[in-house]
Structure 1
Amino acid sequence: MREGRPASFYWLAAFFGAFLLFLYGPMIAIVALSFQGPSGGLTFPMNGVSLHWFEKLWSGGGIVDIKSAFVRSLKLGLVVMGLTVVLSTLAGLAFRKTFRGQAMLFYVAVASLIVPSIITSLGIALQFRLLDDAIKAYAPAFIADDWTTGMGLYTSALGAHLTWTLPFGLLIMFAIFNRFDHRFEEAARDLGATPWQTFRHVVLPIILPSLVGVGLFGFTLSWDEIARSSQAVGEKNTLPLELQALTTTVTTPEIYALGTVTTGVSFLVIGAALGAILLLRARQARHGSDAGKGMV
């Protein structure tokens, strides 16, 4: 006999559907309005359907140099992603053993999650201003005449983004190594493998799908970061800062096209990361099956 669902199920399902609509409704509206015709406005109803605002956005004659800002954010996100993966992995390996000051180091590493983002950005900007003053005062012979500040995308902005991505990467690596089976490493050492060979051929292939997730966190958190970049980015803005500056001055759907492009990049990176994770897990399962057949 088939039992019917209780009425509470349908009420909860309706509530969940309303929550999803509230959560993703604004994004859907922005995407729809970005495909308006040349006479389109910022509100519904739509005036035609075309790619006019995307063409204007990428032509370089619009409200912002989208290509330069896009490339800057993309390069910075890739650097942050790489450093987050490497540093989080090394930290996760280090925290597997007990050492003096371990607890203090952990709390310092995750403290940036508690401190407001704008305060972190202001602190980094102040630190670089003090550094600039010290360089100008004590090392004038080693700097160029037109040198103004050490702040930039790959100095202060990179540090600001890492204060946001590294704690997440570290926490993920803690979860990975807490459930890691140490017997694999012991077997490799018994067979004469060096520590590097053990990591390269045993540990890394097992944790590689999780490292893809850490990299995904690093890139996406850097890609849309505003508060930590606002005071520490230097002279050239990232794409999110350009987008924020345009929200008070733009009166055309071009800003919606820009929002659609940035959202599309985020979904593209997420899809690529999920695809890579599935491929790596399938490869691991295939290798495990082949190893089992070899033993038989």
Structure 2
Amino acid sequence: MRDSRGFGFYGLALFFALFVLFLYGPVICIFVLSLQGPEGGLVFPMRGVSLHWFHKLFEGIGVVDIGAALWRSVKLGAAVTVLTVLLSVMASLAFRKNLRGGTALFFITVASLIMPSIVVSLGIGLEFRLLDTALKWLFGAVGWDNLAAEFNTTMGLFTSALGAQLTWTLPFGLLVMFAVFNRFNPAYEEAASDLGATPWQTFRHVVLPLIGPSVVGVGMFGFTLSWDEIARSSQAIGDLNTLPLELQGLTTTATSPVIYALGTVTTLVSFVVMGVAILAMALLARRRRGAA
């Protein structure tokens, strides 16, 4: 029988194509404009094709140290990834039992998703400023005048910025792991227990291999969300900026395609992380099928 496709099919196909173009069109434009020649500008048409602006990027952009900002983003993203994975897995295991106050705790955790990001950032920044004031008063009260004079702030990459980004990544990790354990068959754990496995052995050799691809996915979410985050970090990061914040600042001063080269590099890093995560999930799934 012939497969006849009506007007509705082609209409939906055109809508989907336009939607994909809307999503990825800006990324493609930035990538293309980053490959302009030395005489290139910020808009089309292109003026030559070269890697000139990537060389300029790695030589440095004015007073902005791109390498240092990139390294700070990588370190912060790695810390956010590890904590998001650990806390999401442990919390999802805890919520499998009758946890007292679990419902309220869940809604408090997820509430940060519906709050404006800039409000969360301002709140965390204010909290740490109040903490700084209290610490200075405490140092002075106990006679540690030198420490009070040298003390600047507790805000930083692995304090306020880390906490701000976890308010964004952790709820996503929890929702993913809750969905995973809602479909998890506890018969596997019961079988391992009947064979004499301890709770830790059951988790390590039975549960973790089964949820491994999802754990990798949570890690990918954690890193990519941290890597691209601006609003929640803007008021809570302290004196040193991450790469997205430096990129945001450069958009008001950069007058050459070097800004597009930087955007291309940051986007490629995100795609590399997603590719590694997909490869890891595929390998874990293949290993699980082989073991079965």
TM, length-normalised to structure 2:
0.96
- Does residue 1:188 correspond to 2:197, yes or no? no
Matched residue, 2:168: 164
Matches within 5 A, 1:110-121: 110-121=110-121
Q: Which runs of 4+ in 1 moved over 3 A?
A: 142-145
Matched residue, 2:151: 147
Matched residue, 1:269: 273
In the alignment, the residues of structure 2 paired with residue 147 and residue 137 of structure 1 have an alpha-carbon distance, to the nearest angstrom, of 11
CA-CA distance at 1:143 after TM superposition: 3.4
Over 3 Å counting, the alpha-carbon distance change for 1:49 and 1:78 in structure 2 is same
Query: For 1:146-173, what per-residue CA distance to the aligned partner results, in whole angstroms no more than 9, with x for missing partners?
Result: 3210000000000000000000001111
CA-CA distance at 1:59 after TM superposition: 1.6
CA-CA distance at 1:62 after TM superposition: 4.4
Over 3 Å counting, the alpha-carbon distance change for 1:61 and 1:258 in structure 2 is closer
In the alignment, the residues of structure 1 paired with residue 64 and residue 6 of structure 2 have an alpha-carbon distance, to the nearest angstrom, of 54
CA-CA distance at 1:249 after TM superposition: 1.2
Matches within 5 A, 1:36-55: 36-55=36-55
Moved more, 135-144 or 153-162: 135-144
SS in 2 for 1:143: helix
Matched residue, 1:79: 79
Give the aligned CA root-mean-square deviation in angstroms. Answer: 1.2
In the alignment, the residues of structure 1 paired with residue 3 and residue 181 of structure 2 have an alpha-carbon distance, to the nearest angstrom, of 43
In the alignment, the residues of structure 1 paired with residue 66 and residue 286 of structure 2 have an alpha-carbon distance, to the nearest angstrom, of 38
Matches within 5 A, 1:197-276: 197-276=201-280
CA-CA distance at 1:144 after TM superposition: 6.3
In the alignment, the residues of structure 2 paired with residue 240 and residue 129 of structure 1 have an alpha-carbon distance, to the nearest angstrom, of 23
Identity of aligned residues (%): 66
Matched residue, 1:98: 98
The answer to whether the 8 Å contact 2:41/2:256 transfers is yes
The answer to whether the 8 Å contact 1:56/1:254 transfers is yes
Query: For 1:235-266, what per-residue CA distance to the aligned partner results, in whole angstroms no more than 9, with x for missing partners?
Result: 00011110111111111000000000000000
The answer to whether the 8 Å contact 1:35/1:49 transfers is yes
Matched residue, 2:138: 138
Matched residue, 2:8: 8
Matched residue, 1:33: 33
The answer to whether the 8 Å contact 2:136/2:148 transfers is no
Structure 1 stretches lacking a partner, 5+ long: 289-296
Query: For 1:110-140, what per-residue CA distance to the aligned partner results, in whole angstroms no more than 9, with x for missing partners?
Result: 1101111001000000100010000000124
CA-CA distance at 1:22 after TM superposition: 1.6
Moved more, 99-108 or 225-234: 99-108
CA-CA distance at 1:101 after TM superposition: 0.8
Query: For 1:57-98, what per-residue CA distance to the aligned partner results, in whole angstroms no more than 9, with x for missing partners?
Result: 112354621101100001100110000000000000000001
Task: For 1:285, give the aligned amino acid.
Answer: R
Task: For 1:254, give the aligned amino acid.
Answer: V
The answer to whether the 8 Å contact 1:73/1:239 transfers is yes
The answer to whether the 8 Å contact 1:129/1:149 transfers is yes
TM, length-normalised to structure 1:
0.95
CA-CA distance at 1:20 after TM superposition: 1.2
Moved more, 205-214 or 63-72: 63-72
In the alignment, the residues of structure 2 paired with residue 125 and residue 287 of structure 1 have an alpha-carbon distance, to the nearest angstrom, of 49
The answer to whether the 8 Å contact 1:56/1:62 transfers is no
- Does residue 1:283 correspond to 2:262, yes or no? no
In the alignment, the residues of structure 2 paired with residue 158 and residue 282 of structure 1 have an alpha-carbon distance, to the nearest angstrom, of 34
